[in-house]
Amino acid sequence: MKVLVTGTGGFIGSHLSTRLLDEGAIVTGVDNMNDYYSVDLKRDRLARLTDRENFQFLEGDIDQESFVDNVFKEGAFTHVVNLAAQAGVPYSLEYPRKYIQSNIVGFLNILEASRHNDIRHLIYASSSSVYGLNETHPSSTTQNTEHPVSLYAATKKSNEMMAHAYSHLFQLPTTGLRFFTVYGPWGRPDMAIFIFTKAILEGGTIDVFDGGAGQRSFTYVDDIVEGITRVVNRIPEPGPGWSGRDPDPSSSSGPYRIYNIGNDETVTVNRIIEGLEEIIGKKAIRNDLPERRGDVRTTFADISALEREIGYRPTTRVKEGLASFVSWYRDYYRV
């Protein structure tokens, strides 16, 4: 198996690449190494991969058509996992054009290159944020996702629709994975658990929106990687009995699938803060603020389809995952 993983310098991409290499795959990683957050952290993630025998890294932007075409031409890939994207909901309020360039134009280049290079399976990152104003919980892939509340979410919804068009028109097998609040060692500095840990250890103040009442399906990175790895080898087929008269949005008459991937238990932000306080042995200094624009108050994953079809279940309890993250943070930053 020869796999292209985009976003390899990223949090999930670096973990996934390690797992694929451990399982004997030949992996090519792509990342533009932008400065949305610490480039040093991204390079340190990559340093764990660059001495592996079956790994090569190419620096570049997936929104550059010629770069993507050359990567595919030289790679002769069997599978593609597209994790490269401009992430972050608050950032999308300030820099919307970056999301269109990376998440829409970049994904189009991946789709085009995949269909012209006989890729067996394209897996791509979607997001729980596509559920937007939908207040039915737990969130199921059979539900309506037509009301995103941020441009980031809108671009991820667009990715799902673009993939469907290519699956329908060109029989390109595509699987979209809606990630639910991933955390763990080597995590992103713009994510809440990272921000809270840093502030508590340094005696700084943490901004807590909506009184900390927001609920999330916090999911440990190893559980996410386990799910992706299983999905890679499950090439989608046309949905049996699928009908346009009563269309199931998670499948199609073409080789197309959408899954939720995450923890099917929710935890409030307040409980996360309390857990970190207990692990670190220090109280957080809180700055309580109103609900933040663009945030979805509750994410709660219905993972029954993924459990039924690939036997996926997350196994890491939140308290265990938080302890693992804090241990990594202390070690990496020498706190």
pTM (predicted TM-score):
0.95
Phi, psi torsion values for 83, nearest 5 degrees? -110, -5
The encoded tokens of residue 94 equal: 């300030």
Close Cβ partners of 20 (under 8 Å, ≥ 6 residues apart): 1, 3, 5, 27, 229, 232
In order along the chain (335 residues), what is the average pLDDT of each group of 10 residues? 98 98 97 96 97 96 98 96 93 93 98 97 96 88 92 96 98 97 96 96 93 88 97 94 91 96 91 96 93 78 94 94 98 96
Residue at token pair 């409030």:
268
Residues 83, 156 contacting (CB under 8 angstroms): no
Domain span at residue 149?
2-180+221-262+301-315
* Number of compact structural domains in the chain: 1
- Domain membership of residue 296 (yes or no) is no
Phi, psi torsion values for 285, nearest 5 degrees? -100, 115
Close Cβ partners of 114 (under 8 Å, ≥ 6 residues apart): 72, 80, 122, 166, 172
Residue type, 101: Q
- Domain membership of residue 44 (yes or no) is yes
Residues 63, 128 contacting (CB under 8 angstroms): no
Q: What is the pLDDT of residue 265?
A: 85
Say which CATH number the domain at 71 has: 3.40.50.720
- Domain membership of residue 329 (yes or no) is no
For residue 96, CA distances in Å to 32, 86, 103, 171, 293 come to 18, 10, 11, 32, 14
- Domain membership of residue 207 (yes or no) is no
The strand pairing partners of 80, in sequence order, are 4, 122
Tallying the residues shown for the chain, one arrives at 335
Q: What is the pLDDT of residue 221?
A: 98
- Domain membership of residue 294 (yes or no) is no
- Domain membership of residue 281 (yes or no) is no
- Domain membership of residue 66 (yes or no) is yes
Which member of 36, 91, 131, 152 is catalytic?
Answer: 152
- Domain membership of residue 283 (yes or no) is no
User: Is 37 an active-site residue?
Assistant: no
The strand pairing partners of 175, in sequence order, are 123, 257
